[in-house]
Amino acid sequence: MVAVVMLYLQNTEHHGMQKKNGRSAFSTQKSKENSGTVRSTWREGTAPSSAEIENLNQRLSSMPAEDILRWACSYIPTGELVQVTSFGPTGMVILHMLHSHGFLDNQQRNMKLQPKRPNAATVSIVSIDTLHLFQESYQHTRKVKQTYDISIHWYFPKDFNTTTSFDDAHGPDLYKTNPDTYDLLTKIEPSVRALRELKVSGWISGRRRDQGGERGNLPIVEMDGMPETGPAPIVTAIPRIKINPLAFWTHRDIWLYIHQHDIPYNILHDSGYKSVGDVMTTIPVKENDPERAGRFVGMNKTECGLHSHLARVKQLTSEGPIKSIPPTIPCPHCLELNSDNFDRLVLGVTSDGVATALTKDLLIEFYSPWCEACQEAGPHFSQIATALRSRYKDQIAVGRFDVTEHDIPNSAEAILHMKIESTPTIYLVQQNPLPTVSEYFSEHHDVATVLDW
């Protein structure tokens, strides 16, 4: 099937809650300049080219979220567009916008509303129940269904529909003993199954850039990297795009919009939970903590096994219809160590084997930009580097080594006795005057804990 739709993508000037002439940028006000026309084609079984994706992002990045959603409903064929949501704050903003414009699937069926555009697709709602959610989350979902009169496509771990049956089969501590398997069974496999069974060509996500980590460079439109089989995020065999209409919004933007439009939200957010997931891995956080700081507690998500991770990265970056770009983890005050400079900067040994005396101790992080744990820890390590530079500029330097870009030098293990089996791994190399190496073993990578160490 070929769906050809003429789209008129017009630029606007603002994102988020910025105001102009007393009106919120959430409205669909248009700029009189820089308007453009794009003929977009979605061919079944054919992925948009990277140039097409880049062009779409250039045009959509200046548009209000509501216009991005309107574009998505025109670009994706009818019946092949979904919103995947856990009904968190960002998801609720998107749901409210879709409902306000009559784009939800149940509105078209039950209320017999005509789409805003003749060829506009309707949006189905998909949610994953891990069977380990808070009771408050289930209560919130019931209120959402009642408020918006929506139908939800629920997906559960395969062959299970109760917490007891799942825990009896896999053990109640699977999330701790094998978090990757837990994620595969409760989140990844149900998500893949949902996208496959519903024949999805595009899905709407609530991810935002200000949530940090790999989301820091999040585009509006991207090719979906969700696997079709297996636990690794391999290149998908089925062309599918992911739309992030709120990519440029902030946490503050989201909550201003929620209160402005009286949108229901999970009552746990009033008790210090900035982000809500499974009951055994989510805790309340302090007001100034990052939004996702209270997630994945006790799941051993503080590291990525080195060998399995490198194999995963190799698979992710293998040749295919979609090429992946590694996330960026900035660290302005870090020395970038690699195979060529490691011996010189860490051991004081030049390329011709001459040893020189080093005057500074060195804190080293072995990391991978692809590792989720490294992405979570990255901002903390950057703050650690800044703090050490401020306090001990003449005594200690901070460096990091990207294990996916460079082979770990033989000297790291043979001379310094470093064993890098997972990332992130942190070592302190002290010059006494010969190098003395200490490994940081704690799973807590926050600034205060590491500096105390």
Active site residues: 304
Other beta carbons within 10 angstroms of residue 433's beta carbon come to 10
Backbone angles phi, psi at 229, to 5 degrees: -145, 155
Q: In angstroms, rounded to a whole number, what is the distance separating the alpha carbons of residues 239 and 229? A: 14
**In a 3-state reduction of DSSP, which class is residue 387?**
helix
Nearest by Cα to 362 from 322, 335, 402, 330? 335
With 0-12 / 13-18 / 19 or more C-beta atoms within 10 angstroms meaning exposed / middle / buried, residue 84 is buried
Angle 179-182-188 from CA coordinates, rounded to 5°? 115
Nearest by Cα to 205 from 214, 50, 372? 214
Say how far residue 376 (Cα) sits from the centre of its chain. 10
Q: In angstroms, rounded to a whole number, what is the distance separating the alpha carbons of residues 365 and 387? A: 15
DSSP category for residue 185: I
Q: In angstroms, rounded to a whole number, what is the distance separating the alpha carbons of residues 238 and 298? A: 34
Q: In angstroms, rounded to a whole number, what is the distance separating the alpha carbons of residues 218 and 65? A: 15
The first and second tokens of residue 85, run together, are 């949501």
Residue 345: which residues within 8 A CB-CB, separation 6 or more?
Answer: 335, 337, 362, 399
Q: In angstroms, rounded to a whole number, what is the distance separating the alpha carbons of residues 283 and 271? A: 10
Q: What is the DSSP string of 63-111?
A: S-HHHHHHHHHHHSPTT-EEEE----HHHHHHHHHHHHTT-BHHHHHHS
